[in-house]
Amino acid sequence: MRVTLLSYTQNAERLCAAAAHSCYSGSGASELMQEEDEGRIERRLRAPLSAGHHSVIEHAAFTFSIEGISRASSHQLVRHRIASFSQQSQRYVKMENADYVMPESIGRDEEAASRYRELMDRIWEEYRFLSERVPKEDARYVLPNACVTNITVTMNARELWHFFELRCCNRAQWELRAVADEMLRQVQEVSPSIFSNAGPPCVSRGRCPEGPLSCGRPRNDLRKRGGLGVSAGSEKD
């Protein structure tokens, strides 16, 4: 699996701060964008965000290429509706080779792994047979959840906060959690003020909302205090 941050809003913090402050200023965002004082930029962002006006970080967008994840995992990714997706089509692209994800739990068990590989080889054999006779869009019905796919995804910073809360959580499925962890690492590099406190609720809010379903293992590995202290939470404007 490979995650690449393809493109992102330059000066995301400055842009969101200018947009936020334009609500309360006689000046327009074009003038406010000239602001160079980092402390002022941070204060202009912190105020609306701590008041729950999270729409101001929707102005910053981030686009990733996610390659080699399973269809099982991409199906969960595309449930996030406030995002844009472009996914490799099994109607047009022939899945020539047996490219699939093997879960670690299966790989650790020698016999299970061997049966799994045999099954995948057999599935692809039938797929290739079918795709010589019927359209690819019909042959693909035999392909498994494990089949890999490539997908391009764009989310704004607010949606990314929400996505990280759900998918960096230990309760999330392991493969999508690995994708989300890597996306978080990459956006923290380019927009540290916006994302340094992002992550599952045990990181972003300092508490777990899962009640009896809580894993009881806070993700301290993701804790990077020091950003804007945005809590995407469940507050709505």
Give the x/- contact pattern for ligand FAD in 17-36, rule: CB under 6 A. Answer: --------------------
Is residue 166 near ligand FAD by the rule CB under 6 A?
Answer: yes
- How far is the C-alpha of 18 from the C-alpha of 41, rounded, in Å? 8
Q: What is the maximal distance between C-alpha atoms in the chain?
A: 70
54 forms part of the interface with ligand FAD (CB under 6 A) = no
Closest CA to 187 of 220, 218, 153, 217: 153
215 binds ligand FAD (CB under 6 A): no
Q: Does 61 bind ligand FAD (CB under 6 A)?
A: no
Min. distance of Cβ 162 from ligand FAD in angstroms? 5
- Residues 6 or more apart whose CB falls under 8 angstroms from that of 154 comprise 61, 62, 63, 64, 83, 84
E-only strand ranges, 76-200 = 83-87, 148-156
Tell me if residue 167 is catalytic. Answer: yes
Q: Give the residue, chosen from 140, 162, 177, 219, that forms a contact with ligand FAD under the rule CB under 6 A.
A: 162
Which listed residue (80, 185, 205, 224) binds ligand FAD by CB under 6 A? 80
Q: Is 158 in the site for ligand FAD (CB under 6 A)?
A: no
CB nearer ligand FAD, residue 17 or residue 168: 168
Distance of CA 83 to the CA centre of its chain: 9
217 belongs to the binding site for ligand FAD (CB under 6 A): no
- Kindly name the residue from 140, 158, 167, 219 that is annotated as catalytic: 167
Task: Judge contact between 69 and 151, C-beta under 8 A.
Answer: yes
From candidates 39, 79, 108, 110, binder to ligand FAD by CB under 6 A? 79
3-class secondary structure, 30: helix
| Residues identified as active-site | 167
